[in-house]
Structure 1
Amino acid sequence: MTYRHLVDPALAPMLENEFPALSAANLKDFRAALVHQFDAGPSPAIRSEVRVRTRDGGPEVRLIIHTPHGGGSNRPAIFFIHGGGMVLGDAAMGEGIRGALALRHQAVVVSVDYRLAPETPFPGAIEDCFAGLKWLFAHAAELGVDPSRVVLMGESAGGGLAASLAQLARDEGGPRACAQILIYPMLDYRTGSKEDPHPNPVTGEFSWTRANNRFGWEALRGDYVPTDARAGHFSAALGRDLSNLPPAFIATGSLDLFFEEIVEYSRRLCRAGVSVELHSYPGAIHGFNFVPTAWMTESFNRDLHGALSRAFGRGESSSEQKNAW
């Protein structure tokens, strides 16, 4: 049975180009194709790169930095983590979008080029992200960044890594972001498998499918058995304690494979005392915002930039402000 009739007509262009079934055999070719597919042109901001060491002794991690023109101090920052199902993409993907984001919010955007699975299974990717985040805070003064206004932000797999990074930073006593911006985040490794705690037949037919989700998570998991205290660093939904995490903005589509896990994670954050702004766009599938003319993309952009503005405008003058946007 198909649920194509539930997809909003504004997203018809997405249905014309189905996302292929990923496998070990086609992964290399699809990685190359994806970089060209999501080429957003050069960054309109000042672009630079650095490489940082990780604590696990892996290769140095590349960070791409987009800085607004004209210098400045006490600027906000966005630590951005790209998507790609844990197996695709790189930090250079969508550079034009990251640069435009930097200019719009007069923020320094730092994009992390984390190692991909299956070549590097857990905890490689999250360790790369943690190293990048610590570098950003350690170099805040020279970047002109106010460390009290640093936001974690990620899309899809990057959203899941951002959620896990918030947990890891808390657990390890690392730097604390003022907010986490999770765009259709990939949170639960069980989704689409026999262990799926919230199976929904309506979600996941288009764009990112159950089969691709299983492939991505198994590639990341490797030999790791997610039953220890690190489980939430692997798959954010497995985190046992979600208290004392940054306020969250979370966006998804009602037909996204991740819809159920996102709603449940949002509930758990709320129960743990974390402020949550949750948006679900009707008739929207995974990656809907890549159709710029769609009405839900316009709504999403308005909601996203509003959340970023509130996060960046949040002061440190009272305890009440520390628990709200």
Structure 2
Amino acid sequence: MKAHELLDPDFNSFLTPGAEAWTLETLPAIRERVHATFKSREQARGESLWTKAHDGEDLRLCLYRPAGAAQDVHFPVILYLHGGGFVLGCPEMADDYLADLAEALQAIIVAVDYRLAPEYPFPVPLEDCYTALGWVFAQQRTLNIDADKVIVMGHSAGAGLAAALAILARDRGEYSIARQVLVYPMLDCRSGSAAAPQQNGTAGVIGWPAQANQFCWQCLRGNHALDDPRIGWFSPALQDDLRDLPSTFLAVGALDLFLEEDVAFAMRLSRAGVAVELHVYPGAPHMFDQCPGDVTDQSMLDVLRSLRRSIASA
């Protein structure tokens, strides 16, 4: 069957043609168009805070706290990394979702306004996320944080950064992450190219296209050599050793370009002895949960349930 025949009817809006090519020339207009759909910082429900990144530059964090929580409670924390292909986006793109999630879980959420490629290629975005992770642990007393219940979470490129951050944190040994929650993560720099390990005729036909994916990976790569020993920090799918990583929730649509890389990553985690919860949603393209429907409702419930279980068991 062809991809459009497998598409859940709730996601028919993804069939609209005419997507422009992603290039350095078109990126400013794409950013402007997409960012115009987000809340402004002044409208957002998150509180902007500032810290210093590894290179001394200012790094903005957005803090979400449940309203009316008791002062003597030690809160679980979710470090959230937004999507956008590494080249666009900001915490405000998920503002209502994060504010509602903080209330539903009675948790603190810290969203990272990491710097974007190509202006800031690897490893700057990842190091920004690592700085934010360190900030979370440094604020244990100030924010009444339960350091045993720190979760990293993201969507798409943000989920790819979350997976890379878990590897980086394990390798550096400074901070302990209880769980990683990866929603259709962008993990493999080869996807969408002839070098991809698997070619799937129904994945990536609808939604996020191969050309845009390869452009974004090239932007993140900059001058980074793919034979660098940090390859897994750049592209987590290429990390050889996945042992001792935090327990993992991973969800992806069956029509997503990232289907193959995500399922393969989940299986490799399992073989490395990491506890894995994997969901593949039928008829769903990339970013399917931006549209209402039964599959979206189920995926939202699955993420919420996983987070609650993680908080309860950590």
Q: TM-score, normalised by structure 1?
A: 0.92
The aligned residue for residue 306 of structure 1 is: 305
Q: How many residue pairs are counted as aligned between the two chains?
A: 311
Deviation at 1:174, TM superposition (A): 2.3
Contact 1:189 1:214 in 2 (8 A): yes
The answer to whether residue 53 in structure 2 is matched with residue 54 in structure 1 is: yes
- Which consecutive aligned stretches of 4+ in structure 1 deviate over 6 angstroms post-superposition? none
Counterpart of 2:141 in structure 1 is 141
Asked whether 1:163 is paired with 2:163, we answer yes
Q: What is the deviation of 1:39?
A: 4.5
Alignment of 1:72-111 (within 5 A): 72=71, 73-111=73-111
Which residue does 1:201 correspond to in 2? 201
TM-aligned CA deviation for residue 229 of structure 1: 2.1
The one-character-per-residue Cα deviations of 1:115-148 (angstroms, maximum 9, x if unpaired) are 1111111101000000001101110221121111
Q: Return the offset for 1:48.
A: 1.8
Amino acid at match of 2:74: N
Q: Deviations over 1:34-91 (max 9, x none)?
A: 12335599555xx322222222x15221100011112432111110000001111112
1: CA distance, partners of 2:6 / 2:208:
16
The one-letter code matched in structure 2 to 1:3 is A
Shift of 1:20: 3.6
Do residues 36 (structure 1) and 19 (structure 2) align? no
Aligned residue runs from structure 1 range 97-246, under 5 A: 97-246=97-246
Which stretch of the first structure deviates more once superposed, 199-208 or 163-172? 199-208
Pair 1:235–1:116, CA change in 2 (3 A): same
Rounded Cα–Cα distance in structure 1 between residues aligned with 2:56 and 2:256: 34
Provide the C-alpha distance between the structure 2 equivalents of 1:2 and 1:119, rounded to a whole number of angstroms.
38
Structure 1 residues 251 and 19: CA distance shift in structure 2, 3 A:
farther
| Partners of 1:167 and 1:232 within 8 A in 2 | yes
Q: What runs of 5+ residues in structure 1 fail to find an aligned partner?
A: 316-325
C-alpha distance in 2 between matches for 1:192 and 1:256: 11
CA distance in 1, matches of 2:148, 2:58: 26
Describe the SS at the equivalent of 2:92: coil
Aligned partners of 1:85 and 1:132: how far apart in 2? 20
* Alpha carbons 1:43, 1:98 under 8 Å: kept: no
The structural deviation recorded for 1:228 is 2.5
Whether contact under 8 Å (2:44, 2:92) holds in the other structure is: no
Separation of aligned partners in 2, 1:297 and 1:140: 34
* 1:48/1:222 CA distance change after superposition, 3 Å: same
Residue ranges of structure 2 left out of the alignment (5+ in a row): none
Secondary structure of 1:85's counterpart equals coil
| Cα shift readout 1:265-284 (whole Å, capped 9, x = no counterpart) | 00110011000000000010
For residue 297 of structure 1, what is the aligned residue in structure 2? Answer: 296
Mapped partners of 2:56, 2:154: distance in 1: 22
Report the CA distance between 1:28 and its aligned residue.
1.1
What is the rounded CA distance, in whole Å, between the counterparts of 2:90 and 2:157 in structure 1?
12
Is the CA contact (8 Å cut-off) linking 2:3 and 2:206 kept in structure 1? no
Deviations 1:186-234 (A, max 9, x none): 0000111121111112100122110001000000001111222211110
Q: Return the alpha-carbon distance in structure 1 between the equivalents of residues 129 and 198 of structure 2.
A: 29
Please say if residues 64 and 110 of structure 1, whose CA atoms lie closer than 8 Å, have aligned partners that are also in contact: yes
Q: Identify if the C-alpha distance between structure 1 residues 158 and 269 changes in structure 2 by more than 3 Å, giving closer, same or farther.
A: same
Normalised by the length of structure 2, the TM-score is 0.95
For 2:268 and 2:303, how far apart are their aligned partners in 1?
22
Instruction: Quote the sequence identity (%).
Output: 41
Q: Contact conserved, 1:192 with 1:213, CA < 8 A, in 2?
A: yes
User: C-alpha offsets along residues 15-40 of structure 1, whole Å, 9 cap, x if unaligned?
Assistant: 23765421111211211221233559
Indicate how the Cα distance of structure 1 residues 133 and 19 shifts in structure 2: closer, same or farther if over 3 A, else same: farther
Matched AA of 1:4: H
Indicate yes or no: 2:66 matched with 1:68. Answer: yes
> 1 CA distance for matches of 2:250 and 2:94?
20
1:19–1:207 Cα contact (<8 Å) kept: no
Do residues 264 (structure 1) and 286 (structure 2) align?
A: no
SS in 2 for 1:260: helix
Closer/same/farther in 2, CA of residues 299 and 19 from structure 1, 3 Å limit? farther
